[in-house]
Amino acid sequence: MSSYKKRFDGRKFDEMRPIKAQVGVIPNADGSARFSFGNTIAVAAVYGPKQLHPQHMQIPNKGLLRCNYSMMSFSVTDRIKPGPSRRSQEISKITEWALSSIVDLDRFPSAVIDVHIMIEQADASTRCAGINAAVMALVHAGIPMKEMAASVSIGKCDETIVVDVSKEEEDYEEGEAATDMPFTVLSNSKKISHIQLDGKTSIAKFKEAMHTALKATEKIHEIQVKALKNMGDIIEA
């Protein structure tokens, strides 16, 4: 039986932290957005499509989506060393994989679309917040997309499934260590374009986590759409 009966911040197990979303936050970018889960804040900026250089990297029949994820040095309590890290490179590639299937890259042969994601403040679920911001920024930039996507982190503390994991839950180690499962779900087809598993879980608990992610990402998608329809306004939920 689970010993995790109450969340550290008082939320219900299926309750996300307060969400804020805004489009058009970087005037010089072709498209931009800010998305936050509670104290986790991500900003995404899109540049392109533009011709890819050097030329030998070009793909003759399609374009390339290139994502760069990084955390600002003041985004956490202990200052982060500037420059790319193994973790930031991993999340950059994961973000590319999560989004490449929904961007219509066939329309942009030999071109590149650059997506830059900066984490202004970190309190867990940064990759999910970054993906949500990136999707809105791509739409804002007018990039043709087959559908949108939304991302959320599902946790398992002991045997309790929780949505939108906080840093305290990410570090939870009482009894069985916490399990973190980020999901990215496509808006129309409900296909999963990205999933990770940090920890261990049973098949039954994984299915419960997936069902929870599907419900949560529907709410996130609604917020993304509302932010895009109300350009410049801060949408809160």
Q: Taking CA 82 as the corner, what is the angle to CA 17 and CA 184, rounded to the nearest 5 degrees?
A: 35
Task: Specify whether the CB–CB gap between 46 and 30 falls below 8 A.
Answer: yes
Q: What is the pLDDT of residue 235?
A: 97
pLDDT at 193: 96
**What's the angle, vertex CA 91, arms to CA 216 and CA 11, rounded to 5?**
30
Q: What is the mean pLDDT of each run of 10 residues along the chain (237 residues)?
A: 74 96 97 97 96 77 92 64 77 95 92 95 94 98 97 90 88 63 96 91 93 97 98 95
DSSP 215-231: HHHHHHHHHHHHHHHST
Domains, the chain, ordered by start: 19-232 (3.30.230.70)
User: Which residue, 24, 27, 20, is CA-closest to 42?
Assistant: 20
Helix axes 126-140, 86-100, angle to 10 degrees: 50
Alpha helices in the chain (DSSP H): 86-100, 126-140, 167-170, 203-229
* Per-residue pLDDT, 175: 44
Question: Which burial class, exposed, middle or buried, applies to 168 when counting CB atoms under 10 A from its CB (0-12, 13-18, 19+)?
Answer: middle
**DSSP of 64-89, one letter per residue?**
EEEEEEEE-TTSSSSPPPSS--HHHH
Helix axes 126-140, 203-229, angle to 10 degrees: 40
User: CA–CA separation, 174 vs 172, rounded Å?
Assistant: 6
The answer to whether 43 and 118 are in contact (CB under 8 A) is yes
What's the whole-model pTM score? 0.91
Q: How far apart are CA 231 and CA 16, in angstroms?
A: 24
Q: How many other C-beta atoms lie within 10 A of the C-beta of residue 6?
A: 10
Check residue 1 and give its pLDDT: 44
- Quick check: 18 and 70 in contact, CB under 8 A? no
- Residue 168: what pLDDT? 84
Count of C-beta atoms within a 10 Å radius of residue 33:
29
Around Cβ 176, how many Cβ atoms within 10 Å?
17
